[in-house]
Structures are given as C-alpha cells and as structure tokens.
Amino acid sequence: MTKTIYVSDMPADVALNPQEHNYNKMLARVPGDVFSSDVYATHIAHDNWCEIFRHGNCNCTPEITIEHLATHKIVLILK
C-alpha cells in the first residue's frame, strides 16, 4: 500500500531553507516504519526551475517517491 505524506503536514522545521537541499529535510521526516531491512530506490523529481539544475542547492519542494526494488512497489510518496 502506498503512503503519501504532504510537506504541508510536516512540522515547521521542514520549511524551505536556501542554505541546504530541501529534499534532505523531507527525507529526514520519513517514518521509520516505512522501511524494512531491504533495498529501496529514491526518485526525486525537482521542479524545472530548481537551482539544483544550475549546481545550486535544491530550492523547490520536489516530489519524492520511494520504491521497494525487489517488488517495484511504491511504498511512499512525499509531495
């Protein structure tokens, strides 16, 4: 079952910060029970205007999808 977490529902300390990559703060809030002891792929879809494409820090709120590699099932979406 896919779980979706919206950035607007996250605590205030996940707010955008131009001094660091926004997606790191988003990933730090992923609940520990989402993962088992297995291998996952993290797909990060940045907005086309994001500074990451110009060698800067991520300044958008990307959509992050976490996929279980063995089953190819999406287990979590952060947006």
Per-residue pLDDT tens over the stretch 17-67: 556 777 777 777 777 777 777 888 888 899 999 888 998 888 888 888 888
pTM of the predicted protein model:
0.69
Position 18 scores a pLDDT of 54
Residue 9 has pLDDT above 60, yes or no: no
Domain count, the chain: 1
Which of 27-60 are b and which e, b meaning 16 or more Cβ less than 10 Å from the residue's Cβ? eeebeeeeeeeeeeeeebebeeebbbeeeeebbb
Checking if the pLDDT of 78 tops 70, the result is: yes
For 33, the domain range is 3-78
Instruction: Report pLDDT for 48.
Output: 93
